[in-house]
């Protein structure tokens, strides 16, 4: 992938491997892989726990690193009952605010000590990379304890001024809900919840923000109003006013 300058790789039964290079899809010249070959590839990639999750859910996320240090985010899934993979290359160096062309006031977020910061947008828009850039800036400039919950861990942080503890769903902790509740017992200053997927996780994140922590997370939504609406829809109507108030004070 690196030689081609590809950001993504798609592997599908009886179809040549397909690379995404500068937004365009390009097919490889090699022969397509069979279902058996792809199944063997998947089996070699997955841990026993991940194989079980794949068998139960039909998909699983993971991250892997090759011998030269290149890191990849991998989604293993089924389509038409057949095994498939989508692979994204994760850059080793976390890009800076300038490299991502982020607004200058983004630095203000890194100085906050309490509250809830949500990044929203469709899949592939750069939410994970933006949050990684924010955390790396904090890592380099603040004495604090950062605890992350990720599925999977994409960027690896080296402790600088901060102490960074990274936990991966399915390996270090069963799910986001349990991890979010447990991380409050780990003396954190800053929490990253990779994805706000359900009511319990969001409620725990709000509680963490209320009790004096800076909480960062992502939500799949296209606009800021849609983000708020999506969060509120996770809760029953009778509790929405309280959640709306919590968001107003902490977001």
In a shared domain, residues 246 and 144: yes
In a shared domain, residues 180 and 76: no
CA distance 1 to 19: 8
Per-residue pLDDT tens over the stretch 171-220: 898 888 788 888 889 999 999 998 888 888 888 899 899 999 999 999 88
CA distance 16 to 210: 51
In a shared domain, residues 80 and 48: yes
Report if residue 95 sits inside a domain.
no
In a shared domain, residues 237 and 152: yes
CA distance 90 to 129: 9
CATH number, domain containing residue 156: 3.40.50.300
In a shared domain, residues 78 and 155: no
Q: Which domain holds residue 36?
A: 6-90
Three-state secondary structure call for residue 192: strand
Side-by-side strand order, sheet with 190-193? 115-120, 214-219, 190-193, 145-150, 163-168
Q: Do the Cβ atoms of 156 and 167 come closer than 8 Å?
A: no
In a shared domain, residues 218 and 110: yes
In a shared domain, residues 16 and 75: yes
Q: Backbone dihedral region of 9: left (phi > 0), alpha (psi from -120 to 50 degrees) or beta?
A: beta
Q: CB-based contacts of 24: which residues, under 8 Å, 6+ apart?
A: none
- Tally the domains of the chain: 2
What global pTM score does this model have? 0.84
CATH number, domain containing residue 71: 3.30.450.90
In a shared domain, residues 161 and 233: yes
- The arithmetic mean of pLDDT across residues 214-233, rounded, is 91
Residue at which a domain ends, from 90, 116, 150: 90
Which residue is listed with tokens 């991998």?
74
In a shared domain, residues 117 and 229: yes
Confidence of residue 5 (pLDDT cuts 50, 70, 90): confident
Report if residue 98 sits inside a domain.
no
Report if residue 100 sits inside a domain.
no
Per-residue pLDDT tens over the stretch 102-115: 998 899 999 999 99
Side-by-side strand order, sheet with 82-90? 24-27, 15-21, 6-12, 82-90, 71-79, 59-65
Three-state secondary structure call for residue 82: strand
């Amino acid at each position: 992938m690196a030689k081609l300058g590809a950001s993504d790789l798609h592997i599908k039964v009886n179809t040549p491997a397909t690379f995404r290079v500068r937004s365009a899809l390009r097919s490889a010249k090699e022969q397509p892989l069979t279902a058996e070959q792809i199944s063997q590839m998947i089996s070699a990639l997955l841990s026993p726990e991940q194989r079980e999750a794949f068998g139960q859910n039909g998909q699983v996320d993971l991250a892997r690193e090759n011998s030269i240090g290149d890191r990849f985010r991998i989604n293993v899934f089924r389509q038409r009952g057949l095994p498939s993979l989508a692979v994204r290359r994760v850059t080793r160096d976390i890009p800076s605010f300038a490299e991502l062309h982020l607004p200058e006031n983004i630095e203000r977020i890194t100085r906050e000590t309490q509250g809830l910061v949500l990044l929203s947008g469709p899949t592939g828009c750069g939410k994970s990379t933006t949050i990684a850039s924010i955390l790396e800036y904090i890592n380099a400039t603040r004495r604090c304890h950062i605890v992350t919950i990720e599925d999977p861990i994409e960027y690896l942080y080296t402790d600088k001024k901060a102490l960074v503890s990274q936990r991966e769903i399915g390996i270090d902790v069963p799910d986001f809900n349990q991890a979010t509740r447990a991380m409050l017992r780990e003396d954190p200053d800053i929490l990253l919840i990779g994805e706000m997927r359900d009511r319990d996780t969001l409620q725990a994140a709000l509680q963490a923000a209320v009790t004096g922590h800076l909480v960062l997370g992502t939500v799949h939504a296209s606009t800021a109003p849609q983000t708020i609406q999506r969060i509120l829809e996770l809760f029953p109507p009778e509790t929405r006013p309280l959640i709306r108030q919590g968001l107003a004070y902490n977001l």
